[in-house]
Structure 1
Amino acid sequence: MATQSFAHGNYSHTQKKARVTGGHSPRDRARRALSQSFLTDGPAVEQVVQAARPSGLVLEPRSGTGTLTAALAGTGAEVVGYETDPLLAVKLKARAGVRVVKGELTAARPPREPFEVVGNIDLSVTPKIVDWCLRAPALTSATLVTPWDYARTQSGDSGQWSLVTVQSWPWFTWELLGVIGRESFRPVASVDSAILRIERRPEPLVADESDYRDMVKLGYSGIGGPVHASLSTQYAGVHSALDEAGIAHDTAAATIHPDQWITLAGRIIR
C-alpha cells in the first residue's frame, strides 16, 4: 500500500514582500532586544480573535502595545496579559483595562482552572511557550501567531511534522488557520507569520503516554537509518506494522502522518 499524503494546501501564494524598516531610538533598541514586533493591523487582529474563539480565562504572552489584548477583552473573555517590558506593561493596563503581569508567561504557574493561551510571539520564545502550554494540565487550547515556517512544520502543512507535534498528537490537534503578512506588524516583520492552533482532544488516542513518546523519539532518532531500521532496534513486528499503517519501509520519520504513528503504536507497543 502506498503511503498516503496528509499534507495541507500550500499557502505560499499568500505571502507578501516588504522592506524591513524601523527607527533607532532607545525604545526601538529595547524593543528589538526583547524581540518585539507588534501586531497592529485591525483585520489581522480580528482574524486571530476569530481563530481563537476566546471564552473564560485567556492568558496572553508578550502582550506588547495591547492591540490584540483589547480585542480579546472585547469578546467578554477574562484576559490576563504577560509583558516583559515594564513600560509597556504599565501602558497596557491603562489601555486594555485587563490584569497585567510583568514577566514571561513561562515563568508563571499554570492555572488550575481551564484556560486558553492566545498571543503573538517571536520565534525566539515560541518553542518555550509551546512546551509550557503542552505541559499545562488545564490548558484547553493555544492560538499563537508564529513565524510562517514554524507553523507549517508543526501543523504538517509543509508535508513534514516535528517531533513535538507527533509526540503530542494523541492529546492535541495542530492546525494552521491562516497566514498574516509581515506588513501587519510594527516594526514590519522580517518574515510572514501564521496562526497556529493547538487544541486539547476530548479523549486521548493512546493509553500510555510514556511508551508512545519513547517509540516516536526512537523513530525520529535516525539510528540505523530510516524509521524501519530505528524501530527494529527495540520493537518486534515492525515490518508488518509499517505495512498495516501504509508506510513505506524507507520513509523518513518526519514525513509520516501523526495518525500513522498512532497506528504503529497500536501494533508494536506491548
Structure 2
Amino acid sequence: MPFTLATWNINSVRLRAGLVERLLRDEGPDVLCLQECKSPVEKMPDFSALGYPYRIARGQKGYNGVAILSRLPIEDAGEMDFAALGHARHVAGRLENGVTIHNFYVPAGGDVPDRAVNEKFGQKLDYLTGMRDWFHGDRPGKSILVGDLNIAPREDDVWNHKQLLKIVSHTPIEVDHLAQAQEAGGWVDITRADIPDGPLYSWWSYRAKDWSAADKGRRLDHVWATGDIAAAGHSSRILRDARGWEQPSDHAPVFATFDL
C-alpha cells in the first residue's frame, strides 16, 4: 500500500497548530514529521480528531522538539542524542510494514562558520559526525530519513551558490559532513531523485520583505531513503504556497510518496 509522507519545520507547533490542521485537512499525508516544535510533549496539540491518532514525539520547552503524526499505526523506535547536546532533535517510528522513519532536526549552527569562535557551529559538525558514525556502525535498512537538516548541499539548492559559500548552511565543510552521513547510511536523496534539475528551495528568510518575489531560498528540508527502498519513492514536491500562509513558518513542507 502506498503512503505519503511530509516533513515540515513548523517553528512552534502550538503557535501554528492551525497551519498544521490546514495541511492535514488539505493535503492529507499519511505521516507528518514536524521539527522545531518548541514544546514539551504533554503540551503539544492533539490532532487525533483529524484522523491522526498516533503520535511519537520528543520535546522541550521553547526549543527544538520533533514529532511524528500518523494515521497509520506506528510504534516508537527511540531516539539518539548525537554530540550529547541534550536536545530533542531526533525521534524514530516504525510502521507496521517494517519501515522505520527517522525525523531529524540538525542544529542550525549559528552565524559564523568557524567552530573556534562559534560553539554552535562546532556542535552542528559534531552532530553530523555522530550521525555518520551511527550509520557506519548500524547501517540502516528499509528506512526513511526526513527533517530539517539545515544544510543546502547542491549549488542549485540555494539562490546564489557563490554568495552563500561562506554562509552557514552552504559552506563546503557542512556539505562535506552531510555527504559523509548520507554515504555512511546508503541514503538516497528522494527529492532530488524525483526532481533532479533546477533550483529547489524549502526555506525563505523572514527578513525578506517579499520572500516570494525575492526568492532567495535554500533547500534545508530533506527526504532520504535507504537504497533498498529508494526505488519505491516518487511524487516528490515542495508545498511552496504554505510559506505564504498567515503567520507562516519560514519553511515549506516537503512531500514524497512510497509504494511499500
Higher relative strand content: 2
Give the TM-score, by structure 2 length.
Answer: 0.34
Higher relative helix content: 1
Give the TM-score, by structure 1 length.
Answer: 0.33
Bigger Rg, which one: 1
